[in-house]
A and B are shown apart, each in its own frame.
Chain A
Amino acid sequence: GENVEQHPSTLSVQEGDSAVIKCTYSDSASNYFPWYKQELGKGPQLIIDIRSNVGEKKDQRIAVTLNKTAKHFSLHITETQPEDSAVYFCAATYSSASKIIFGSGTRLSIRP
């Protein structure tokens, strides 16, 4: 079955710097890769996603890149702000919502 590995588990960056979180997946059939942000005491919220027919997608300060050959994808946050502090989860699936596999999460802290 699918396996998703996420690194690093914790990340601390200076406010204004960039943050990068990386994930690898095992099932070459996976075709949808969402990223979720979970703020303290809340449920995860989808912030950006990418499908396998696209190499990069941007939404303001957030971007996701996908390398199908290497089977890895990354989340890039530029010009980090205090409100970016949260736990971020990557995920992958190939067929249905019930087949989504989540990574173990990255706790991102933004230092003032």
Chain B
Amino acid sequence: NAGVTQTPEFQVLKTGQSMTLQCAQDMNHEYMSWYRQDPGMGLRLIHYSVGAGITDQGEVPNGYNVSRSTTEDFPLRLLSAAPSQTSVYFCASSYDDTSYEQYFGPGTRLTVT
């Protein structure tokens, strides 16, 4: 199993550009989530999904969209990038929403200039 994979590893965007961060898992997990990690602030939940076709907002959803058309994939879209979205983004998955052990991907390091 590859576990949780994320692409790209690094990305530089200009203010106003849009892009999609890809996340996939091959563990047949129902629950998937996106976090951003900023210095001194831990991990903050952006959006999550408890299954295909179901998504919901986390703590910091503004400026991001998600969709979950399949169990495996959970892309994160930045609609119009802003410097405040410079961060490291992690995708995570777990068996379901009540299974607390989450498996994290390697992260995408995004810089918005």
Interface residues of A (CB under 8 A from B): 4, 6, 9, 32, 34, 36, 41-46, 49, 89, 93, 96-98, 100, 102-105
Number of interface residues of B (CB under 8 A): 26
Select one of B4, B42, B44, B99 contacting A43, CB under 8 A: B4
CB distance from A47 to the nearest CB of B (A): 11
Query: Could you tell me if B97 and A98 are in contact, using CB atoms closer than 8 angstroms?
Result: yes
Minimum C-beta distance from B91 to chain A (A): 8
Q: Determine whether the beta carbon of B94 is less than 8 Å from that of A97.
A: yes
In the complex formed, the residue of A with least CB distance to B93 is A97
Contact of B97 among A6, A42, A97, A105 (CB under 8 A): A97
Given contacts A43-B90, A44-B90, 12 further A-B contacts (CB under 8 A): A4-B42, A32-B100, A41-B107, A43-B4, A43-B104, A49-B100, A97-B31, A97-B102, A98-B33, A100-B45, A102-B43, A105-B42
Given contacts A43-B107, A44-B104, A46-B101, contact A104 B90 (CB under 8 A): no
Is there a chain A Cβ closer than 8 Å to B1's Cβ?
A: no
Q: Which residues of A contact B101 (CB under 8 A)?
A: 34, 46, 49
CA distance A89 to B102 in the complex (A): 13
Which residue of chain A has its CB nearest to the CB of B101? A46
- Whole-angstrom distance from the CB of A35 to the nearest CB of chain B? 12
Query: By CB atoms of chain A within 10 A, which of B4, B40, B97, B100 has the most?
Result: B100
Q: 23 A-B pairs, CB-CB below 8 angstroms?
A: A9-B40, A32-B100, A42-B106, A42-B107, A43-B4, A43-B90, A43-B105, A44-B104, A45-B104, A46-B101, A97-B33, A97-B97, A97-B98, A98-B31, A98-B33, A98-B48, A98-B50, A98-B97, A100-B45, A102-B44, A104-B40, A104-B41, A105-B42
